[in-house]
């Protein structure tokens, strides 16, 4: 049974946080197709009209919840640990941490929907994927300047590997990689690929 909260007048950041928390709980409990804007509004203690003013449907809300949460919590583009390994580990550890829970369920649901909804996949890529690729490119440029990897164009497929490995395990097992597994992904797979001569 879904939680019911009294309707209160909230606006701005306070309302958004309440809606995001309610959406995460609702989708985790009922899936993307089984979730409803009405129940999300009740969980958040607000009116349904407040949701529809910003989001057309549950899928649009779910996409916003995932992208906004990731943008607010992943290391900033300028974050620099001093080494490529440290930068990769910081980014992947934060990603894995936030995917181990309701947000991971939301991502799995979005992936499932995107399999037969190209528009949803395209919006996800436009709003999130391209920015993350640009941030990874900046991270690799710093590593090249430090002499950690060869100075040459990086294969775009290789650039997808770090996050893809995390999401792959999430989809297959329902959990994000552990700290030891992340270190293995970086040390045994990602860094060796980046240190190879360019094939582009």
Which domains are present in the chain? 1-54 (1.10.10.60), 62-195 (1.10.357.10)
Contact 63, 20 (CB under 8 A): no
User: How far apart are the C-alpha atoms of 139 and 16, rounded to whole Å?
Assistant: 31
Q: How far is CA 143 from the centre of its chain?
A: 24
Query: Quick one: pLDDT at residue 2?
Result: 46
| % of the chain surpassing 70 pLDDT | 91
- The 10s digit of each residue's pLDDT in 138-165 is 899 999 999 999 998 888 888 889 989 9
Angle, helices 156-173 vs 84-99, to 10°: value is 30
Instruction: Output the pTM of the full model.
Output: 0.78
190 token code pair: 């990602």
With 80 as the cut, is the pLDDT of residue 81 above it? yes
Distance, first Cα to last Cα, the chain? 54
Taking all residues of the chain, what is their mean pLDDT, rounded to a whole number? 87
For 9-42, letters b (16+ CB in 10 Å) and e give ebeeeebbebbbebbbbbbbbebbeebebebbbb
**Whether residue 1 has pLDDT greater than 50:** no
Predicted local distance difference test score (pLDDT) of residue 200:
57
3-state secondary structure of 189: helix
Q: With 0-12 CB in 10 A as exposed, 13-18 as middle and 19+ as buried, what is 156?
A: exposed
């Amino acid at each position: 049974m879904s939680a019911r909260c009294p309707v209160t007048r909230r606006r701005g950041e306070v309302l958004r946080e309440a809606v995001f928390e309610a959406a995460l709980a609702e989708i985790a409990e009922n899936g993307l197709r089984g979730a409803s804007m009405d129940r999300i509004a009740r969980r958040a203690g607000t009116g349904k009209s407040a949701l529809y003013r910003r989001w057309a449907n549950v899928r649009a809300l779910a996409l916003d919840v995932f992208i906004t949460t990731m943008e607010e919590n992943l290391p900033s583009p300028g974050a620099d640990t001093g080494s490529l390994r440290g930068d990769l580990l910081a980014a992947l550890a934060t990603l894995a941490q936030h995917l181990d829970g309701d947000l991971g369920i939301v991502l799995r649901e979005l992936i499932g929907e995107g399999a037969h909804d190209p528009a949803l996949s395209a919006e996800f890529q436009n709003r999130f994927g391209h920015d993350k690729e640009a941030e990874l490119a900046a991270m690799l440029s710093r590593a090249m300047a430090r002499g950690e990897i060869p100075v040459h164009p990086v294969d775009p497929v290789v650039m997808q590997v770090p996050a893809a490995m995390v999401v792959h395990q999430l989809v297959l097992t329902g959990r994000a990689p552990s700290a030891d597994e992340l270190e293995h992904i970086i040390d045994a797979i990602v860094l060796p690929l980046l240190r190879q001569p360019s094939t582009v």
